[in-house]
A = this chain, B = another copy of it.
Amino acid sequence: MDKGAINDLTKLCIHTITTKPLEIGTAIDKFSSLGAKGITVWRDAYAQYSPRQVGEMIRNSGLEVVSLCRGGFFPAADEHKRKEAIADNKAAVEEASELGAPLVVLVCGADPRQSLETSRDQIKAGIESVLPLAEKLQIRLAIEPLHPVYADTRSAITTMKQANDMVESIESDFLGVAVDVYHVWWDEGLENEIKRCGKHDNLFAFHICDWKVPSTDILLDRGIMGEGCINISRIKKWVNQAGFDGFNEVEIFSSAYWAMDQDEYLQKIVEAYKTTVLQT
What residues of chain A have their CB less than 8 Å away from a CB belonging to chain B? 112-113, 115-116, 147-149, 151-153, 158-159, 162, 185-188, 211, 213-215, 218, 228-229, 231
Given contacts A116-B186, A162-B188, contact A229 B147 (CB under 8 A): no
Contacts of A147 in B (CB 8 A): 148-149
Contacts of A187 in B (CB 8 A): 148, 158
Q: How many identical subunits does the complex contain?
A: 2
Q: Are B218 and A149 in contact (CB under 8 A)?
A: yes
Q: Are A152 and B229 in contact (CB under 8 A)?
A: yes
Q: State A157–B215 Cα separation when bound (angstroms).
A: 19
CB nearest to A229 among chain B residues: B112
CB distance from A146 to the nearest CB of B (A): 10
Q: State A231–B152 Cα separation when bound (angstroms).
A: 12
Contacts of A229 in B (CB 8 A): 112-113, 152
Q: Are A213 and B162 in contact (CB under 8 A)?
A: no
Q: Are A188 and B116 in contact (CB under 8 A)?
A: yes
CB nearest to A112 among chain B residues: B229
CB distance from A227 to the nearest CB of B (A): 11
Q: State A161–B116 Cα separation when bound (angstroms).
A: 19
Contacts of A112 in B (CB 8 A): 213, 228-229
CB distance from A219 to the nearest CB of B (A): 10
CB distance from A255 to the nearest CB of B (A): 15
Given contacts A115-B231, A148-B147, A231-B115, contact A153 B214 (CB under 8 A): yes
CB nearest to A151 among chain B residues: B186
